[in-house]
């Protein structure tokens, strides 16, 4: 989640390309690893996913759209024409994953797209084994590529992105079924550090090679060289998995890790508030943050700190907004 927040700041090319090469595939891989379909009826599965993904999406959409209308659109890059209001309302209702429709809070496209992906995966898992699911997922990826080339409009609820995401959810589920994370747990620390260094360097190299022809973006369905895209997505995901495995099981990490959906929904609004403080209180030009690594790290850390009371209050008093019966802190 920190990679997502950091990647949405005006960071320099090198760290941005590095993070951007794997952070969305990794989210879908993690979702596949955590998904549970065994002995669950479709109705129960559908309702659970609607509560935990669609309900938060619409709540985030309404809040951020109101935030944009009354504050965001009056300043800076968000000062768009009045016509944007109509597009944003349509985009929010149908969850269309495009800047012209979700420009008020584009990152939340992930939630309805993940919902669609996991519902499709449920049916595949019900009738097919993991090998056939992988084959179907590859076919869906190919269909997504063809749609990108020949269909100009975007599908609602991120269905066109789901065609690509299904493969990563399948891979995540395969990692769980083969207990790959448990095997990493058994490795000694020296070997883990070796893999972290090798995978990190490989991801850095591949991300720069693939982005030499333009920025890759899963939401915009831009992958450039597909071989390099997969290489960066898998090496970067494994890099984070190994790195996380070496991270202490601290309650602070658990606090943020269990509430990433809240951070996803509100971090852009935090950016706006931090920029307002920087510009109107301290009178520091916003341009100073452009490609400044340390300032953007400070912005990202400050965002997590600012959202801590929001996370607490939502879990304490409004857990239903994120699909929980009671909060998990």
Average pLDDT, the chain: 90
Structural domain containing residue 159: 35-177
User: For a pLDDT cut of 70, what percent of the chain falls above it?
Assistant: 95
Measure the CA–CA gap between 144 and 113, rounded to whole angstroms: 13
**231-257 residue pLDDT tens:** 999 999 999 999 999 888 889 999 999
Query: Which DSSP letter does residue 154 get?
Result: P
Q: Are residues 277 and 164 in the same domain?
A: no
Domain count, the chain: 2
**39-97 residue pLDDT tens:** 788 999 999 999 999 999 999 999 999 998 888 776 655 555 556 788 899 999 999 99
Q: Are residues 156 and 42 in the same domain?
A: yes
pTM equals: 0.93
212 in a structural domain: no
94 in a structural domain: yes
- φ and ψ at 175, to 5 degrees? -60, -40
- φ and ψ at 222, to 5 degrees? -115, 115
60 in a structural domain: yes
Q: Are residues 173 and 272 in the same domain?
A: no
Q: Are residues 41 and 158 in the same domain?
A: yes
Reported as a pLDDT band with limits 50, 70 and 90, residue 146 is very high
213 in a structural domain: no
Domain boundary among 132, 151, 177: 177
244 in a structural domain: no
Cβ neighbors of 323 (< 8 A, separation 6 or more) are 48, 51, 52, 53, 55, 56
User: 281 near 289, Cβ under 8 Å?
Assistant: no
Q: How far is CA 86 from the centre of its chain?
A: 26
Q: Are residues 134 and 267 in the same domain?
A: no
Domain boundary among 156, 177, 198: 177
User: 219 near 106, Cβ under 8 Å?
Assistant: yes
């Amino acid at each position: 989640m920190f990679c997502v927040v950091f990647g949405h700041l005006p960071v320099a090319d090198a760290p941005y390309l590095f993070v951007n090469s794997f952070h969305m595939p990794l989210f879908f891989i993690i979702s596949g690893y955590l998904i549970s379909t065994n002995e669950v009826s479709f109705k129960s599965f559908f309702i659970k996913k609607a509560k935990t993904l669609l309900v938060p999406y619409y709540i985030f959409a309404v809040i951020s759209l109101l935030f944009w209308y009354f504050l965001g659109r009056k300043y800076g890059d968000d000062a768009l024409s009045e016509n944007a209001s109509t597009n944003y309302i349509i985009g929010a209702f149908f969850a269309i994953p495009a800047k012209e429709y979700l420009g008020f809070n584009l990152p939340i496209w992930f939630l309805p797209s993940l919902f669609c992906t996991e519902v499709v995966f449920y049916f595949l898992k019900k009738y097919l084994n993991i090998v056939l699911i992988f084959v179907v997922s590859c076919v869906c990826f190919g269909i997504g590529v063809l749609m990108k080339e020949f269909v100009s409009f975007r599908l609602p609820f991120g269905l066109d992105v789901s065609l690509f995401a299904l493969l990563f959810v399948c891979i995540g589920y395969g990692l769980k079924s083969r207990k790959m994370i448990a095997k990493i747990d058994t490795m000694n620390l020296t070997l883990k550090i070796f893999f972290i260094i090798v995978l990190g360097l490989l991801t850095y190299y591949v991300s720069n090679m693939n982005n030499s022809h333009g920025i890759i973006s899963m939401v915009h369905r831009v992958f450039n060289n597909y071989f390099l895209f997969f290489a960066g997505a898998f090496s970067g995901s494994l890099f984070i998995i190994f790195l996380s495995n070496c991270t202490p099981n601290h309650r602070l990490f658990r606090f943020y890790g269990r509430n990433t959906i809240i951070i996803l929904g509100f971090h852009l609004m935090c950016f706006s508030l931090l920029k307002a403080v920087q510009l109107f209180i301290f009178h520091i030009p916003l341009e100073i943050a452009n490609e400044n690594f340390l300032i953007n790290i400070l912005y990202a850390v400050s965002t997590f700190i600012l959202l801590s009371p929001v996370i607490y209050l939502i879990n304490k008093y409004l857990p239903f907004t994120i699909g929980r019966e009671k909060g998990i802190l």
